[in-house]
Amino acid sequence: MNIALLGHGVVGRGVDEIIASRVNDVHVTRILELPDRLSDPRMTASFDDILNDESIELVIECMGGLEPAHTFIMAALGAGKAVVTSNKAVVAAYFQEFAAQAQKTGAALLIEASCGGGIPWIASIEKVRRIDSVSAFSGIMNGTTNYLVDTMRKTGKDFDVVLAEAQALGYAERDPSDDIDGVDVKNKTIIAASVAFNVACRYDIPVAGIRNLTKADMQMFASKGRVVKLIGHGVQRDGHYAAAVEPVALPQSSLEAHVPANFNMVTLEGSTVGILKFYGQGAGSLPTGNAMVQDVLDFKAGRRPVYDFSANLVYDPMLLVSNYVFRTAIAPEGSERYAEGSWLVRSVTASHAREIYAYALESDPTSFYARLPWED
Amino acid sequence: MNIALLGHGVVGRGVDEIIASRVNDVHVTRILELPDRLSDPRMTASFDDILNDESIELVIECMGGLEPAHTFIMAALGAGKAVVTSNKAVVAAYFQEFAAQAQKTGAALLIEASCGGGIPWIASIEKVRRIDSVSAFSGIMNGTTNYLVDTMRKTGKDFDVVLAEAQALGYAERDPSDDIDGVDVKNKTIIAASVAFNVACRYDIPVAGIRNLTKADMQMFASKGRVVKLIGHGVQRDGHYAAAVEPVALPQSSLEAHVPANFNMVTLEGSTVGILKFYGQGAGSLPTGNAMVQDVLDFKAGRRPVYDFSANLVYDPMLLVSNYVFRTAIAPEGSERYAEGSWLVRSVTASHAREIYAYALESDPTSFYARLPWED
C-alpha cells in the first residue's frame, strides 16, 4: 500500500521511521513539505502531486494547525483517499464536516493520534461502543501540564520556575498558552465526547487551565490531601450530554494523582465493561507516530470507523455539578471559607464555576480555582 | 452468525445476556449444560449436538477446569469452529496444542477473557506487537488478592479476617487457594508471556502467593513507604525470556500501589509506544462476558490471531534479578537486617528467591517474602 505524508516535522519523521523499519507492505511514496525543505526525492511542495496520484490510498496529515490542513483533509477525503491525522485542533474544529465528507465518498477517517498520543484511546472507545454505551469519560490528556504540576508537587518549586525548566528541556513550547490554558485538552475533550457519545460536541464548552496555579495553591490542597491536575471530562445521560476542561483537586488516593511526568491517563465508563483506564505517553514523535501507524494498519485490516453523530443529544450543563474552590482576593457570593484566602462554592455547574472564575479574575487577575470531587 | 455456549454458569449467563440485549446478527442457538440443568430449549447435555451442528461457526467455552474443556476445545478447533474461551487454566496448560490445532484447520482461537477480565489486554498486546517488540509486562492480574491486600491496608485488619469477609461477600472462593497461592496469576502470566514474546512459555515458572501475609507485614512495609501487591511479570531480551509470580513491595508513589478493591492493572513496554497501562475489572460476569463478546465481534470483523510461538527464546532466570525481603524466624544466608524479624537479600533471581522462601518455610511455616523493586 502506498501512502503520503503531509508534513515531515518531528511526528512525520517518527511515522516515516516506524514504517520504514517495522512495517512491511506499506510505503511512504510522497511527502508534502515546504518548497525550501525538499531534501528527499519523495518530497514535493505541491499537494496536487499527492491528490492526483492514484497509487496513493492513504494520506497521513501531521502538519498541525487549521489551514491548510483542513483544506487538504477535505480534498483527500473527497478524492476517496483515507486520512490519518494527529491534528487535534483541526479535528475538533471540523469533525462534523470531515465525517460528512468521509461518509459521502466512503473514505476512512482515522484520528487515534489526535487524542492521547500512543494510548489506544479512540480505538478503545469505539471498541467499547460496539457493545456498551459510554456514560462518562475523563482524564489527564496533556503531558506538558501534567509534567508541570507533577514537578511542582515533587520539587516544591513555583509554576514559573518549572515552566522555564520545561521550556529549556523541550517539554513545553516557547508559547505554552495552548497547553497551560487548556486549549489542547479542550480539543481532545471535544473529540473524545464526539466519539464516545456519538454527538457533534459543541465547541464552546467551559475551559480553564492552570496558568495561575502557584506553589502555595499546591501546598494548600496538599494539606487537604489533594493534588491538582488538569482534567478534561464528559458525561451523557437520558439524551443529554456535557463536557468541560478544568483544574481538579483530586484525592491523593486516586490513581490520577500519581500519574508522573508527562504521562496521560484516561478513563471511560461502559455499561457492562465498567470502568476502564488507559495510561501512556500522550505525546512524543514515536508514541504519536506509533498511533498513526496503528491507524494505517487498522485501515489495512479493514477497520472503517463511522462517525455519523446521530445521537440527538442536547447539551445540558446540569450534568456536571460539583463543589469548587476559588483562591481569590474577594470571596465569591454564597461561598464559605475553605482555607486561608480560599473559598468553597457548593453544587454549581462547571459552566457556572467558569463564570464565577471569570468574574474573580476581574478583581484579582492571579485567581485560581479547581473542582473538588468527592473523596472516593 | 450462530454460536454455542459451553456452560451456563455466571460467565455463560453474562455472555448470553449481553449478546441477547446488545448484539445484532449473533445468536446463541445451543448451550451445553449438565443433564439435570436443561432448563432452556437451546440446552443439550451432548457436546456432539454442538460439534455436528454445521450452522454453528463459533463456540464459547466458559465451563472452566481442564477436562472436558481441553477435549471440547480441541474437537471444536479440529472441526474448524472458532473458539472463544475465558478458561485461563486450560489455555495456560495447552496453549501450544490449541494453537497448533487452530493453525492446522485454520480455525480461530480467541482468549481475551482468559486474562484481565474486561480489560482489553490480549488484544492490546497483539496490537502493540504489530509494530513493536514487547520487552516486558507486569501487573496486578487477580482481583481477589488485590481486594484482600487493599482492604488490609485500608482497615488495618488481618489476612484471615479480611479473607473471611471476602468469602461472605462472594469476592473470594470457599477454597481460595488458586487465588491466594498465585495459581490464577501464574496461568495469566504464562498466557501473557506467550502472546507478548511469541514463545510457548514454560509451565514451571517461580510462583508464590500471599497466604502468609500478615497485618504486621503490611505495617512493616508501610513504615518503609511500600505496599504489598501480588504481581505477575515477564521480560525478554536478546533471545532470552523469564517470568514469575510473586508478592512485591511497591513504592507508595507507584500507580499500582493505589489500585483499589478487586481491580486489575497491567503494564506493557513496547519499543516505540513506550509504557502502556490498562486498568479495569479483572473478573465478574459482565466484564468477562464483555471480553468474550468483544472476541466474537472481533472474529466477525475478521480478526484471526496467530499464535505460532516461533520466537526461539531460551528461558533465563538471570533476566529477573532484584532485592528481596524475607520475614522469617531464621535469617537467610547472606542476608542483612531490613526490619525487626525481616531480612534483606540483595540481587538474586526470582527463582533463587523462591528457593530461599521454600527453605525458610521449612523452619518457619509462617514465613513471608516480597520483591523490593527500586524506588522510581
CA distance A336 to chain B (A): 31
Q: Count the Cβ atoms, other than its own, within 10 Å of residue A10.
A: 15
Query: Which chain A residues contact residue B286 at CB under 8 A?
Result: 272-274
Residue A212 to residue A217: CA distance in whole angstroms: 9
Number of Cβ atoms within 10 Å of the Cβ of A302: 10
Contact with chain A for residue B270, Cβ under 8 A: yes
Largest CA distance in chain A: 67
Q: Which of A259, A290, A293, A298 to mutate to test the interface with B (most CBs of B within 10 A)?
A: A290
Q: How many CB pairs under 8 A join A and B?
A: 128
Compute the nearest-CA separation of B120 from chain A (Å): 8
> Three-state SS for B213?
coil
CB hemisphere CA count around A300 (13 angstroms): 16
Query: Looking at residue B375, what is its pLDDT?
Result: 57
- Do the Cβ atoms of A232 and A266 come closer than 8 Å? no
Structure confidence at residue A125 (pLDDT): 97
Q: Residue B276 and residue A118: Cβ atoms within 8 Å?
A: yes
Which residues lie across from A6 on neighbouring strands?
A32, A61
HSE at residue B348, side-chain half, CA atoms within 13 A, is 22
Q: Which of B120, B257, B376 sits opposite A127 (nearest CB)?
A: B120
pTM for the model stands at 0.97
C-alpha to C-alpha distance for B80 and B191, rounded to whole angstroms? 23
Instruction: Kindly report the nearest CA distance between residue A13 and chain B, in angstroms.
Output: 13
Interface check A10 vs B, CB under 8 A: no
Q: What is the pLDDT along chain B (376 residues), one digit of tens a residue?
A: 999 999 999 999 999 999 999 999 999 999 999 999 999 999 999 999 999 999 999 999 999 999 999 999 999 999 999 999 999 999 999 999 999 999 999 999 999 999 998 999 999 999 999 999 999 999 999 999 999 999 999 999 999 999 999 999 888 999 999 999 999 999 999 999 999 999 999 999 999 999 999 999 999 999 999 999 999 999 999 999 999 999 999 999 999 999 999 999 999 999 999 999 999 998 889 999 999 999 999 999 999 999 989 999 999 999 999 999 999 999 999 999 999 999 999 999 999 999 999 999 999 999 999 999 975 4
Name every chain A residue with its beta carbon within 8 A of the beta carbon of B281. Answer: 273-275
What's the grid cell of residue B79?
Answer: 472441526
Asked if the Cβ–Cβ distance from B278 to A281 is below 8 Å, we say no
**Minimum distance, in Å, between the CA of residue A367 and any CA atom of chain B:** 30
Residue A257: list chain B partners with CB under 8 A.
258
Contact A276 B273 (CB under 8 A): no
Tell if the CB–CB gap between B290 and A260 is shorter than 8 Å.
Answer: no
Which residue of chain B is at minimal alpha-carbon distance from A259? B255
CB contact under 8 A, A255 and B254: no
The residue among A200, A311, A189, A195 whose CA lies nearest residue A244 is A189
Min Cα separation B136/chain A (Å): 15
* Chain B residues inside the 8 Å CB shell of A297: 130-131
Contacting residues for B71 by C-beta, under 8 A, at least 6 apart: none
Hey, are the CB atoms on B272 and A294 less than 8 Å from each other?
no
In this predicted structure, what is the pLDDT of residue A375? 57
Q: Do B258 and A253 touch (CB under 8 A)?
A: yes
Q: Which residues of B are catalytic?
A: 188
Cβ contacts (< 8 Å) between A124 and chain B: which residues? 120
User: How far apart (Å, rounded) are the C-alpha atoms in residues B37 and A243?
Assistant: 49
A window 287-326, beta carbon within 8 A of B: 287, 289-291, 293-294, 297, 301-303
Residue-level pLDDT, tens digit, chain A, 376 residues: 999 999 999 999 999 999 999 999 999 999 999 999 999 999 999 999 999 999 999 999 999 999 999 999 999 999 999 999 999 999 999 999 999 999 999 999 999 999 998 999 999 999 999 999 999 999 999 999 999 999 999 999 999 999 999 999 888 999 999 999 999 999 999 999 999 999 999 999 999 999 999 999 999 999 999 999 999 999 999 999 999 999 999 999 999 999 999 999 999 999 999 999 999 998 889 999 999 999 999 999 999 999 989 999 999 999 999 999 999 999 999 999 999 999 999 999 999 999 999 999 999 999 999 999 975 4
Cβ separation of A130 and B254 shorter than 8 Å? no
Which among B240, B242, B151, B228 has a CA at the least distance from the CA of B189? B242
| B131:A290 CB<8 A | yes
d(CA B9, CA B6): 9
Of A124, A130, A253, the CB nearest to B297: A130
Choose, from A81, A186, A188, A229, the residue flagged as catalytic. A188
Look up A188 and say whether it is catalytic. yes
In terms of CA atoms, which chain B residue is nearest residue A22?
A: B131
Say how many C-beta atoms besides its own lie within 10 A of residue B259's C-beta.
Answer: 24
Dist. CA A170–CA A176, nearest whole Å: 11
Choose among B272, B286, B297: nearest Cβ to A289.
B272
ipTM score over 0.90, yes or no: yes
Residue-wise pLDDT tens digits, B287-346: 999 999 999 999 999 999 999 899 999 999 999 999 999 999 999 999 999 999 999 999
Q: What is the pLDDT of residue A376?
A: 44
